[in-house]
Amino acid sequence: MQTLTYEGLQIKKGTLKKVKDALVVEAALQININSEPYTVVMRTPGDDIELIRGLLYAEDIYKEKDNVNFELIEKRENGFSIINTIIPKTKLGKGYLNKRTLLSVSSCGICGKQKLDDISVNGIKLNNNFDFDFNRIENMFSKMKEQQDTFEISGGSHAAALFNSNYQILSIKEDIGRHNAVDKVIGELLQNKTLDKVNCMLVSGRVSYEIISKAFIAKIPFVIAVSACSSLAVDFAKEFGICLIGFSRGKKATIYSNN
């Protein structure tokens, strides 16, 4: 259930008529860890396991290679769900030890942070020596768009896609939230143990600090966006060794860092 049909009144040239529109679903997902509520994520239902896996990885809660067990506790007709994640206490990372209860809304992935220090990311700068063929970008976006079924119906979802060094698509996911789509594609490859094959991530909207931080944690050296990049995204991309490209539309694009 990624879209639902709603009635509305369309205004066109001063006249009104009833229309039926497909709208992308936004619903709450409660994530429990070892039967204790951890967070609530506003997302588009579907690929919930991948979303949780990617989120736990990005938040430094569980970064082991072994997969974890998931239990569906509750699933409601409106898309609201509760999923419990079972993780041995000895394998819980610092992100859980510094536990905070947060509400992650679909438009903001860092809204639950409590301190400025919580938005810092540490690690060794990526060593990016790949000779990227920028002429491939338009075709890569075409491949992603071909699989954006929810966007095709509703026009309201974001997408993220991961590619390998041969410019082959490895995963594409859609969600109402930009960062949720990123968590889903990263989570899928974590589950498949193929995250080390990723060379580039495409996103359908703008790039913020958090998307760059997720790419860095997943060791993805190229991030390419249809839309704009924030100032902090560019600053962090330069610091992390990520080649960040924005405004990629048709045969045009702007390279902001590490080209």
Amino acid at 20: K
Distance CA 219, CA 197 (A): 10
Q: Give residue for tokens 């859980």.
A: 96
Distance CA 212, CA 191 (A): 21
Question: Which of the residues 108, 111, 200, 243 is marked catalytic?
Answer: 108
Q: Quick one: which H or E segment has residue 100?
A: none
Distance CA 236, CA 221 (A): 12
CA distances from 210 to 55, 86, 174 (A): 12, 26, 17
Distance CA 151, CA 23 (A): 9
Distance CA 184, CA 252 (A): 28
Amino acid at 3: T
Q: Is 111 a catalytic residue?
A: no
Task: State both tokens at 102.
Answer: 């947060």
Distance CA 2, CA 157 (A): 9
Q: Is 34 left (phi over 0), alpha (psi -120 to 50) or beta?
A: left
Distance CA 83, CA 92 (A): 17
Catalytic residue numbers, as ranges: 108
